[in-house]
């Protein structure tokens, strides 16, 4: 039997090469993974045209994955710099890269990214519509939007964010909710503006079946975007956000019926005490589809440090069921991130993801920590550096000072508890002078 998508193959009982690779990487049986892909609780975004891809699974029972956002903007058009960000993201282990370029003809950068990257590639076709079509927003037709999606699919993009749930009903709920920040989703705001200017229904909702046909042909996973995600704590868990989530659940089953893989996108800004309930609600309303969250950012007052507010929220979210974390950098809300910002964002998100995997009991997750603990107990600095999530930073910190005993650091020196216990438990004298 021939198949077009991972889900179609899984439903037919076929274990694809991508499933084999993911199962081996995750340490689970291929048949278990296949059944989860068939049920939609795991997605393996893997466009037929992305030949450089090293596939990853997102969802039930798998390690929490990390996405990095980058791309060209109208004010910052340095293509070489964006490729350096790609290199940084890959170096520190991001499994996905979203090209959010929104200026001019972006296809050259996107094609180069797909050709280069072993990480899965995502886009938001809505961002590209004005530049790709060379039409102002109000003059773009529903078929024009679908044409842009088709172009991205043909270029090898593995998943696309589509804000299909922002229909007339969701907008009515939004308008009555009286939000502080209105719509902070870039794609969502553009769809809303287009609907208001033209008087039409959301083209991705109205022509959803035609959209699914395009995605099915190339096995592009649809990441159902949360146009009404909260952009501040005050807007979290409101009627607009939940109403749209209900629509996304309905769109999920329609996609699965057409053998198109699905991920659901979630908040946003949200107080810590609301995160766990939101994760449970998404899994319930969206039939356990993989959940992809931006943050959540647990406070609104930390510009310059939002990689930290995001990592706090991301750890709580993933520990309670989120499967995929979109990184946030220190530059969030302030500027396009630099290469160093990308590094800080990836590492913060990876720490959050790993901490959550330990809490969720993902097989093998804590082995890494146990290796670090063993190296520390031995005061084995080279082994500690081998296990460090950022080896270069750890080595640089140690190199800046010179302790009297090179097996210790300058925090405790001769009073190092590990040194003391190693000597005492081996029957040796402990001298501090």
| Pairing mode of beta strands 58-59, 42-43 | antiparallel
Q: Taking a C-beta distance cutoff of 8 angstroms, is the pair 127, 53 a contact? A: no
Q: Is position 186 annotated in a ligand binding site?
A: yes
pLDDT at 293 over 90: yes
pLDDT in tens, 30-55: 999 999 999 999 999 999 999 999 99
| Rounded distance between C-alpha atoms, residue 306 and residue 330, angstroms | 5
- pLDDT score for 1: 63
Q: Tell whether omega for the bond before 296 is within 30 degrees of 0, i.e. cis.
A: yes
Q: Is position 219 annotated in a ligand binding site?
A: no
Q: Is position 333 annotated in a ligand binding site?
A: yes
pLDDT at 207 over 70: yes
Per cent of the chain over pLDDT 70 is 99
When pLDDT is cut at 50, 70 and 90, the band that residue 261 belongs to is very high
Q: Is position 292 annotated in a ligand binding site?
A: yes
Number of H helices, E strands in the chain: 19, 10
> Does residue 379 come out as left (phi exceeding 0), alpha (psi in the -120 to 50 range) or beta?
left
Q: Is position 287 annotated in a ligand binding site?
A: no
Going along 129-233, which residue ranges are E strands? 159-162, 221-224
Q: Is position 326 annotated in a ligand binding site?
A: no
Cα→Cα distances 68→3, 93, 96, 123, 291, Å:
30, 10, 6, 11, 16
| Segment 181-210 mean pLDDT | 97
| Rounded distance between C-alpha atoms, residue 69 and residue 97, angstroms | 6
- pLDDT score for 131: 83
- pLDDT score for 104: 67
Q: Is position 127 annotated in a ligand binding site?
A: yes
Which helix (H) or strand (E) element contains residue 392? helix 391-399
Which helix (H) or strand (E) element contains residue 32? helix 30-39
Q: Is position 229 annotated in a ligand binding site?
A: yes
| Segment 49-78 mean pLDDT | 94
| Segment 55-59 mean pLDDT | 98
DSSP 234: G
Q: Is position 349 annotated in a ligand binding site?
A: no
Q: Is position 48 annotated in a ligand binding site?
A: no
Taken in order of first residue, the domains within the chain and their CATH numbers are 63-360 (3.20.20.540), 366-400 (no CATH), 402-433 (no CATH)
| Segment 250-278 mean pLDDT | 98
Task: Name which of 1-10, 117-126, 250-259, 370-379 the model is least confident about.
Answer: 1-10
| Better pLDDT: 399 or 72 | 399
pTM for this prediction: 0.95
Q: Is position 185 annotated in a ligand binding site?
A: yes
Cβ-proximal residues to 428 (8 Å cutoff; 6+ apart), any chain: none
Q: Is position 254 annotated in a ligand binding site?
A: no
Q: Taking a C-beta distance cutoff of 8 angstroms, is the pair 328, 302 a contact? A: no
Task: Name which of 119-123, 160-164, 258-262, 404-408 the model is least confident about.
Answer: 404-408
Q: Is position 237 annotated in a ligand binding site?
A: no
pLDDT in tens, 408-426: 899 998 899 999 999 999 9
Q: Is position 81 annotated in a ligand binding site?
A: no
- pLDDT score for 107: 87
- pLDDT score for 317: 98
- pLDDT score for 432: 81
Q: Is position 232 annotated in a ligand binding site?
A: no
Cβ-proximal residues to 166 (8 Å cutoff; 6+ apart), any chain: 188, 191, 192, 195, 202, 205, 227, 228, 244
Q: Is position 176 annotated in a ligand binding site?
A: no
CA atoms within 13 A on the CB side of 17: 4
| Better pLDDT: 65 or 72 | 65
Cβ-proximal residues to 192 (8 Å cutoff; 6+ apart), any chain: 166, 171, 183, 227
Q: Tell me the average pLDDT of the chain.
A: 95
| Rounded distance between C-alpha atoms, residue 88 and residue 341, angstroms | 10
């Amino acid at each position: 039997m021939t198949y077009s998508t991972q889900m179609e193959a899984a439903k037919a009982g076929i274990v694809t090469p991508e499933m084999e690779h993911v199962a081996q990487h995750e340490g689970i049986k291929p048949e278990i993974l296949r059944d989860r892909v068939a049920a939609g609780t795991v997605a393996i975004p893997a466009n037929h045209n992305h030949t450089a891809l090293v596939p990853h699974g997102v969802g039930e029972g798998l390690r929490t994955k990390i996405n990095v956002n980058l791309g060209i903007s109208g004010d910052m058009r340095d293509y070489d710099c964006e490729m350096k960000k790609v290199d940084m993201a890959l170096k520190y282990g991001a499994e996905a890269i979203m090209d959010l370029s929104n200026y001019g003809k972006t296809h050259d950068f996107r094609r180069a990214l797909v050709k280069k990257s072993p990480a899965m590639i995502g886009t938001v076709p809505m961002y590209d519509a004005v530049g790709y079509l060379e039409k102002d927003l109000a003059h773009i037709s529903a078929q024009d939007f679908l044409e842009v999606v088709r172009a991205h699919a043909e270029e090898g993009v593995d998943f696309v964010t589509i804000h299909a749930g922002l229909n007339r009903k969701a907008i009515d709920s939004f308008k009555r909710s009286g939000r502080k920040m209105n719509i902070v989703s870039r794609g969502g705001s553009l769809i809303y503006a287009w609907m208001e200017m033209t008087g039409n229904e959301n083209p991705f909702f109205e022509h959803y079946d035609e959209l699914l046909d395009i995605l099915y042909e190339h096995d592009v996973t649809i990441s159902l975007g949360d146009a009404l995600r909260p952009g501040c704590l005050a807007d979290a868990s409101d009627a607009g956000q939940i109403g749209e989530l209900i629509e996304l659940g309905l769109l999920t089953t329609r996609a699965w019926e057409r053998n198109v893989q699905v991920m659901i996108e979630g908040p946003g800004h949200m107080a810590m005490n609301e995160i766990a309930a939101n994760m449970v609600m998404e899994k319930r309303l969206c039939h356990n589809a993989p959940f992809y969250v931006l943050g959540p950012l647990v406070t609104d007052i930390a510009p310059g440090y939002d990689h930290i507010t995001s990592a706090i929220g991301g750890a709580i979210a993933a520990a309670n069921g989120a499967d995929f974390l979109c990184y946030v950098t220190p530059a969030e809300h302030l500027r396009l991130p630099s290469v160093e910002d990308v590094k800080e964002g990836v590492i913060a998100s990876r720490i959050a993801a790993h901490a959550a995997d330990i809490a969720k009991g993902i097989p093998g997750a804590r082995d890494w920590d146990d290796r670090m603990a063993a190296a520390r107990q031995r005061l084995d600095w080279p082994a500690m550096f081998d296990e460090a999530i950022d080896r270069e930073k750890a080595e640089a910190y140690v190199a800046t000072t010179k302790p009297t005993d090179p097996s210790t650091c300058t925090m405790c020196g001769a009073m190092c508890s590990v040194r003391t216990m190693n000597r005492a438990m081996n029957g040796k004298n402990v001298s501090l002078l």
